[in-house]
Amino acid sequence: IGAPGVDLPPDRPWPEDFDAALAQYEAEPPIRVSFEQGAAGAGDRACPDGDRSPDPCPPGYPYSVVSESYESWPPPGTTPWRLFLQPDGALDEAPPAVVDTSARGADTYRYDASSGGLGIGASRSLMSTNPGFTWAPNPEGTSLSFLSEPLEADTAMVGTASVDLWVRSTAPDVDLEVDLTEVRPDGRETYVQSGWLRA
pLDDT digits (tens, 9 = 90+) for 95-142: 998 887 888 888 999 888 776 666 665 555 656 666 667 777 788 899
Q: How confident is the model over 39-72, as pLDDT tens digits?
A: 655 444 445 444 444 455 666 666 677 788 999 9
**How many CB atoms are located within 10 Å of the residue 119 CB?**
9
Please report the pLDDT score of residue 188 as a whole number. 86
Instruction: Report the distance separating Cα 183 and Cα 192, nearest Å.
Output: 10
Contact 107, 96 (CB under 8 A): no
Please report the pLDDT score of residue 120 as a whole number. 60
Q: Quick one: which of 85, 77, 127 has its CA closest to 105?
A: 85
Instruction: Report the distance separating Cα 144 and Cα 91, nearest Å.
Output: 12
Instruction: Report the distance separating Cα 37 and Cα 46, nearest Å.
Output: 15
Instruction: Report the distance separating Cα 146 and Cα 179, nearest Å.
Output: 10
Which range among 15-24, 78-87, 184-193 shows the weakest confidence by mean pLDDT?
184-193
Please report the pLDDT score of residue 43 as a whole number. 46
Please report the pLDDT score of residue 13 as a whole number. 86
Provide the percentage of residues in the chain whose pLDDT is more than 70. Answer: 72
Instruction: Report the distance separating Cα 175 and Cα 196, nearest Å.
Output: 7
pTM over 0.75: no
Better-scored residue on pLDDT, 199 or 197: 197
Please report the pLDDT score of residue 93 as a whole number. 95
Please report the pLDDT score of residue 17 as a whole number. 96
Average of per-residue pLDDT values in the chain? 80
Please report the pLDDT score of residue 157 as a whole number. 87
**Domain residue spans in the chain?**
18-70, 79-199
Q: How confident is the model over 19-29, as pLDDT tens digits?
A: 999 999 999 99
